[in-house]
Amino acid sequence: MACFEREAVWSRREMMKAGALVAAGSAIASGAMGFAAEAQSAAGETKADVEQWGIFEASYPGPTGGNPFVDVEFGAVFEQSGKSVAVGGFYDGGGTCRVRFMPETTGAWTYRTQSNRPELDGKTGSFVVSAATAENRGPVRVKDEYHFVYADGAPYRELGTTCYGWTCQPEELEEQTLKTLADAPFNKMRMCVFPKWFNYNHVEPPLYPFVGQAPNHWDFTQFNPAYFQHFERRIAQLGAMGIEADVILFHPYDEGHWGFDNMGAENDDRYLRYTIARLGAHRNVWWSLANEWDYFKTKKEADFERIGETIAKNDPYRHLCSIHQQKVFFDHSKPWITHVSVQNDMPDNAPMYLRKWGKPVIFDECRYEGDIPEGWGDITATRLVGNFWKTLVEGAFCGHGETYLNAKEELWWSKGGVLLGQSPERLKFFKQVVDAAPAEATVLSERNTWGVEGEYYLTYLWDRQHLTQSYKLPAGGRFKAEVLDTVAMTITPVAGTFSETAEIPLPIQPYLAIRVVRI
């Protein structure tokens, strides 16, 4: 008997409660994007309601003999008004095969399964897609070359953080990470699928992604469903909080300890197809091919080209996709790369990157606020937050990280937990300012200025200190001005109004921003 499931609408609080109740090894977290059981009709079909950009799931009993991860081919074709979308399915253990679908349009949909096994082939069903609820804005897309928007058209202004290995920690620490995020300003989380074996990360995870024996005796043809169920539950919880999950598919921080960085092309590609089938229907997923791709000893540029092409072939939703470098930039002109992920703390380079690749640029790693000896994790909050302001007025985006050392080596940058630095509060202020700007704000011709010509100007001076800041304004308009101290997080109105020209007096200090708005 087939089992179908549909998405229900859950609040953030309900999602957090549900996530805490899921046991490892269950079919899927009961709160993971709100799946709910749907009864089968007498005709062998089922009708279920799901909202636009939600998740529809159908599950069926499948074969358990042999190796279902290799021997069973399973998927479905979803159709509406003459258009069709082919989606891969996956084996979830316990004799269950699943297929998930994220409908991008409302109305009635039908589907038919396809499989090399007769008991899974030719199953049909239908469901109705309703309009998205207010908190569901759909997946993030690229707009006008350099910007991001949600699928509903609302601007998405990236403000990310990094927690590479947070889903491979003890339950209590992971729950603390979610609690911390609930009070943080971030709308994207960079996170690895595989655990890390690196500085401050020399610990074994509670679960492993493959069947076998730790540390490095694995059957790469047999996935451990419990590992991936746990991972996707965390992605769903991030989604309920409005946080995009920037999923890093490969990383070089293994070097033979587990061997997940050197599985071979065939196993890599199987892992990619499985991961896309499991996670692709989550609207908040982004793909990152690798962190520090050029640091790999076991993969070459051609391997990552094949990986990118495999993602493009198997992801029907065209999720955002990037690749991150240590020193050597990848060729970001590849059609399957949607945006440029940068590691350096030189935001002045943003215009050059934008011109070169014609895609949005995110400085995902611009060094981290912290106190560790490594040079990439020892900058001040002032320097880190300054990078956010500077990348904004240069037309790019930025990412946060924190590396304060403690006795347990629970650094936010990798394990999550709590945030100790000053940058999150300052980034809340940054977010408030950016969110209050017009939706169409962009880089202006005025140096270090972002906004809408003739309507809104936001200038950031970074580490420079000026006595005044001047503007040429459109004739006939009246404007007000404010001086923003980005360190003290204060906004000071400037006396009077301005027309045609403005000479804004400034305190002689760095890290100031000036906001000029038409009245």
pLDDT digits (tens, 9 = 90+) for 365-377: 999 999 999 999 9
DSSP-assigned letter for residue 168: G
Per-residue tokens: 403: 């590396």
| Percentage of residues in the chain having pLDDT higher than 70 | 91
Q: What's the pLDDT at 1?
A: 24
How far is it, in rounded angstroms, from Cα 203 to Cα 196? 8
How far is it, in rounded angstroms, from Cα 295 to Cα 328? 9
Helix (H, G, I), strand (E, B) or coil at 173: helix
Asked if omega into 61 is within 30° of 0 (cis), the reply is no
For residues 176, 181, 184, 188, the Cα torsion angle rounded to the nearest 10 degrees is: 150
pLDDT digits (tens, 9 = 90+) for 218-243: 999 999 999 999 999 999 999 999 99
Of the candidates 147, 410, 104, the residue with the CA atom closest to the CA atom of residue 283: 104
| Strand boundaries in 259-346, DSSP class E | 285-290, 321-322, 340-343
pLDDT digits (tens, 9 = 90+) for 495-508: 999 999 999 999 99
> Model confidence at 12, in pLDDT bands (50, 70, 90)?
very low
Q: Name the residue with tokens 């560790």.
A: 372
Q: Name the residue with tokens 């347990």.
A: 408
Are 24 and 231 in contact by the 8 Å Cβ rule? The answer is no
Average pLDDT over residues 327-333: 98
Q: What's the pLDDT at 64?
A: 84
Are 377 and 340 in contact by the 8 Å Cβ rule? The answer is no
DSSP assignment of 441-497 equals: -EE-SSTTEEEETTTEEEEE-TT---SEEEEE--TT--EEEEEEETTTTEEEEPSS-
How far is it, in rounded angstroms, from Cα 181 to Cα 422? 15
Per-residue tokens: 339: 């945006």
CA angle 229, 230, 233 (to 5 degrees): 85
Of the candidates 394, 316, 309, the residue with the CA atom closest to the CA atom of residue 360: 394
- The torsion region of residue 255 among left (phi > 0), alpha (psi -120 to 50) and beta comes to left
Are 231 and 167 in contact by the 8 Å Cβ rule? The answer is yes
Q: What's the pLDDT at 408?
A: 95
Res. 152: pLDDT tops 60:
yes
Q: In order of start, what are the domains of the chain with their CATH numbers? A: 3-130 (2.60.40.10), 140-435 (3.20.20.80), 442-518 (2.60.40.3950)
Res. 324: pLDDT tops 90:
yes
Are 101 and 111 in contact by the 8 Å Cβ rule? The answer is yes
Residue 300's contacts (CB-CB under 8 Å, 6 or more residues apart) are: none
Res. 31: pLDDT tops 80:
no
Please provide the average confidence, as pLDDT, over all residues in the chain: 91
Q: What is the pTM of this model?
A: 0.92
How far is it, in rounded angstroms, from Cα 125 to Cα 44? 8
How far is it, in rounded angstroms, from Cα 377 to Cα 367? 6
Q: What's the pLDDT at 444?
A: 97
CA distances from 498 to 253, 356, 461, 512 (A): 55, 38, 21, 20
Question: Which three-class secondary structure string do you get for 78-140?
Answer: EEECCEEEEEEEEECCCCEEEEEECCCCCEEEEEEEEECCHHHCCCEEEEEEECCCCCCCCCE
Res. 184: pLDDT tops 60:
yes
Are 244 and 187 in contact by the 8 Å Cβ rule? The answer is yes
Chain centroid offset of residue 15 CA: 18
Res. 518: pLDDT tops 50:
yes
Lowest mean pLDDT among 29-38, 268-277, 389-398, 445-454: 29-38
How far is it, in rounded angstroms, from Cα 264 to Cα 78? 32
Average pLDDT over residues 478-487: 98
Residue 498's contacts (CB-CB under 8 Å, 6 or more residues apart) are: 471, 473, 478, 479, 480, 481, 516
> Model confidence at 45, in pLDDT bands (50, 70, 90)?
low
pLDDT digits (tens, 9 = 90+) for 302-312: 999 999 999 99
Res. 136: pLDDT tops 60:
yes
Average pLDDT over residues 125-153: 97
Of the candidates 136, 150, 129, 38, the residue with the CA atom closest to the CA atom of residue 79: 129
> Model confidence at 114, in pLDDT bands (50, 70, 90)?
very high
Residue 165's contacts (CB-CB under 8 Å, 6 or more residues apart) are: 191, 192, 195, 196, 201, 205, 414, 415
Q: What's the pLDDT at 292?
A: 98
Helices (H) and strands (E) in the chain, counts: 10, 31
Lowest mean pLDDT among 34-43, 140-149, 337-346: 34-43
Res. 37: pLDDT tops 90:
no
Q: What's the pLDDT at 47?
A: 63
How far is it, in rounded angstroms, from Cα 14 to Cα 23? 17
In total, the chain counts a number of residues equal to 519
